[in-house]
Amino acid sequence: MSDDPTPLAVLRGLVAQDAPLAPVHAALHARLTDVQRGTCSGRLPTQAGDGLLESVLILADFVMGVAYSSTLRAGDRIVTVRIGVQLLGRPLAGEELFGVGRLDDARNGVGLSSGTITDREGGEVARCLARNAVLTDDVAGQYGRTAPTWSNRPSSWRLLMPHRGEDPTRDGTTMIARPDHTSANSAGVVQGGALAGLAARGLAHSLDVVPEDFAVSFVRSVRPDGSPVMCRVVVEHGGRRLKVGRAELVDDRGKLLASASGTSFRH
């Protein structure tokens, strides 16, 4: 690993050594394949039985976050504030996804990034946007020194975020998950794409269709200690063609962790 402590140098070192950035990436085998200042590319193997939107959220958050991180100074890191996804294609379950992230604007400690997710033939699967904020703390100083090791085989999102369905009449809760350390990011907490997948799955469950238009805003991160995270969904419109829903992720004390919305339209 280079002695250069800047995020760009650390990220390039991870690419050169084929090392994972965080436990969540080690578990899912999400790999960085190239990093330049303000841009990056990566790939993610998907597993049969996982939802497409959940996998897209993991990869999109990864490449768009790294695109911004690559421009930061030593001692800085980013936290995801919001992710938006527009699904365009539906590759077969189990196919590998490829992502490219680009930093479009950065000012006052906030970056706006865009991303494109494609299948192995280069067909567009999703277009994405992310807003990230810069934090300065001791966690960033450990990047590249505490890199985890790859799991023996790629895990699936449903194992990364073990969950069960609930009767939606029970205070609106449709799913309960208990994330553990394998779903943590490089700051040691569960946030971003891994957490967003629970809201996406809850919406798909309640709307009975995968939303093609999905957006999530993050309020609090989750400690990976097995504590419950509840997904509560309200179906705002359940028409034959247009379906609109809203999801909230809360902890066991009712504190808001994330808020999401999803829309699906069928001809």
Calpha distance 162→178 (Å, rounded)? 6
Extents of the domains making up the chain: 7-142, 157-265
pLDDT tens string 32-65: 999 999 999 999 999 877 788 999 999 999 999 9
DSSP string, 175-238: EEE---GGG--TTSSB-THHHHHHHHHHHHHHHTS--SEEEEEE---B-SSS--EEEEEEEEEE
| 211, two tokens | 């939303």
HSE, side-chain direction, 13 A CA sphere, residue 170: 9
Query: Predicted confidence band at 246 (pLDDT cuts at 50, 70, 90)?
Result: very high
Q: Would you give the DSSP letter of residue 73?
A: P
* CB-based contact 20:32 (threshold 8 Å): no
Query: Order of strands across the sheet with 124-136?
Result: 31-36, 39-45, 96-107, 110-118, 124-136, 76-87, 213-218, 256-265, 242-250, 229-238, 173-177, 163-165
Does the domain spanning 7-142 belong to CATH 3.30.830.10?
Answer: no
Evaluate whether 185 touches 30 at the Cβ level (below 8 Å): no
Q: Rounded to whole angstroms, how far apart are CA atoms 21 and 30?
A: 9
Residue 174: CA atoms inside 13 Å, Cβ hemisphere, count?
21
Computed over every residue of the chain, the mean pLDDT equals: 89
pLDDT number for residue 4:
67
Span 176-235, pLDDT tens digits: 899 988 999 988 899 999 999 999 999 998 899 999 999 999 999 999 888 999 999 999
What is the homologous superfamily of the domain 157-265 according to CATH?
Hotdog Thioesterase (3.10.129.10)
The 10s digit of each residue's pLDDT in 115-170 is 999 999 999 999 999 999 998 776 555 555 566 899 999 888 877 777 766 555 55
What is d(CA 80, CA 61) in angstroms, rounded to the nearest whole number?
8
Whether pLDDT at 2 is above 70: no
Same fold, 7-142 and 157-265: yes
pLDDT band at 1 (very low <50, low <70, confident <90, very high): very low
